Amino acid sequence: MRDEGVERWPVKVDRIAKRRGIKIQYSPLDEELSGMVFYKDNVAVIGVNSKHHVRRQRFTIAHELGHLQLHDDVLRKGMHVDKVITMLNRDSKSAAGTVNIEIEANQFAAEFLMPRKFVMQYMDENDLDYGTVADEQAIEDMANAFNVSSTAMTYRVAKIL
Ligand SMILES: [Zn+2]
């Protein structure tokens, strides 16, 4: 499902969402709000902060797609709102000791925007090797190609390699 209709980077996250019947609404929100996801009349709606950088918007959409795929039961109970802080807080665990749904959604988003096979293919085509994660210019070029932030790409490459 993750790679449906996707042959090459950058992954067209908004088009894939729309093809799945999900509505995307771009609107200016408070700086601290990244986005939200909810059901309206049984249609999934993703709200995105239009004031944020496009790469952040893409990550937000992918993060909310993760919630839709993984946490539908939670979303059926009410709107899920993401603040910048909850999305960056990669290591937090809930009080019950279960894996935080934000970590799962971030993981989903990283895999969605930077699928392993695309990352490997890009590295093959550009003759990159294991030193890439420490090469700022290479990471930046890769981030540009995938239309994600350099930070997101650094994490992803480190994880894959
Ligand atoms: Zn979230």
Within a domain: 58: yes
Q: How far is the CA of 128 from the centre of ligand 1 (A)?
A: 33
Ligand 1 (ion): which residues have CB within 5 A? Answer: 82, 102, 105
Q: Which of 128-132's residues contact partners 24+ apart within 8 Å by CB, and which partners? A: 130/161, 132/157, 132/161
Range of the domain at 91: 13-113
Counting the structural domains of the chain, the total is 1
150 contact partners, CB below 8 Å, separation of at least 6: 136, 139, 140, 143
Please tell me the predicted confidence (pLDDT) of residue 25. 97
- Whether 33 is covered by a domain: the verdict is yes
* Predicted pLDDT of residue 96: 44
The amino acid that residue 57 corresponds to is: Q
* Residue 50 located in a structural domain: yes
Residue 49 resides in a domain: yes
> 47 pairs with which residues across the strands?
25, 36
Taking the CA atoms of residue 136, residue 142, residue 143 and residue 145 in that order, the dihedral angle to the nearest 10 degrees is 150
Distance 83 CA to ligand 1 centre (A): 8
**pLDDT for the residue numbered 153:** 95
Distance CA 114, CA 118 (A): 7
Answer whether residue 28 is part of any domain. yes
The predicted pLDDT at position 33 comes to 95
- Tokens (6 digits) for 37: 């996801």
Does residue 158 lie in a domain region? Answer: no
The pLDDT of residue 99: 61
- Answer yes or no: is 79 within a domain: yes
CB 79 within 8 A of CB 36: yes
Mean pLDDT by 10 residues, the chain (161 residues): 68 95 97 95 96 96 97 93 70 52 94 96 91 89 96 93 85
Residue given tokens 């935080």 in the structure block: 100
CATH number at residue 73: 1.10.10
Q: How far is the centre of ligand 1, averaged over its atoms, from the C-alpha of 160 (Å)?
A: 23
97 lies in some domain: yes
Note if the pTM is more than 0.85: yes
Q: How many CB atoms lie within 10 A of CB 34?
A: 25
